[in-house]
Amino acid sequence: MEYLTILKEHKININIETIIIGFNQGILSEQDIENIATKYLEENPKSPVNEIIELAWGNLEKYKIIILLEEIKKRTEISFDKNLEMKKWRFSKLIKINEMYKGEELLEKIAELYAEFNYPEDMENLIYYMPPKKSVKNKSNKKVNSNKNLFVRFSEFLEMEKEILLKVG
């Protein structure tokens, strides 16, 4: 649930597809789904949906949770961009590792997340073992070739990702 909290703190839109992908990726647990459903029912007592009630009841196997979430999604009649939803979770995880790690350990965790999310092209410039596609120059206009360069790119990447996620929902 901590990653969902990060999305909320950064005002990133969370929808049923976000929840489905988070659950399918193992980012959200069965207990998280139960908590989300319970909170929804508390905030929306006059619009109970049978699937949400069943999710809130809990004690369901993973396959049943997926079926119920997909039924809820069908009712929305909105199409979702899976890549965008994956970006939300990636952003959330990057924020978390940025809070937890520093230095070379942070670079290692970024590389692990790069692999976890199937080597997204837009992260290649953040990976310490990949050749840089763009260089950063310091105030005297000299190329910076070090971990410092990676940290600058990582910071810029997080800012750009947040801007994109806030714009498109």
DSSP sequence for the chain: -HHHHHHHHTT----HHHHHHHHHTTSS-HHHHHHHHHHHHHH-TTS--HHHHHHHH----HHHHHHHHHHHHHHH-----HHHHHHHHHHHHHHHHHHH--HHHHHHHHHHHHHHTT--GGGGGG-TTSPPSS-EE-TTS-EE-SHHHHHHHHHHHHHHHHHHHHHH-
Verify that 6 and 33 share a domain, yes or no.
Answer: yes
Torsional class of 60: left (φ above 0), alpha (ψ -120 to 50), beta (otherwise): beta
- Where is mean pLDDT largest: 43-47, 89-93, 138-142, 149-153? 89-93
pLDDT at 77: 77
Domains: count for the chain: 2
State the pTM of this model.
Answer: 0.86
For a pLDDT cut of 70, what percent of the chain falls above it? 91
pLDDT at 141: 47
Confidence check: pLDDT of 76 > 80 = yes
CA distance 95 to 103: 15
Verify that 61 and 89 share a domain, yes or no.
Answer: no
Verify that 29 and 72 share a domain, yes or no.
Answer: yes
pLDDT at 143: 45
Confidence check: pLDDT of 138 > 60 = no
* Domain hosting residue 53, numbered range: 2-76
Boundary of a domain, candidates 43, 76, 109: 76
Verify that 49 and 97 share a domain, yes or no.
Answer: no
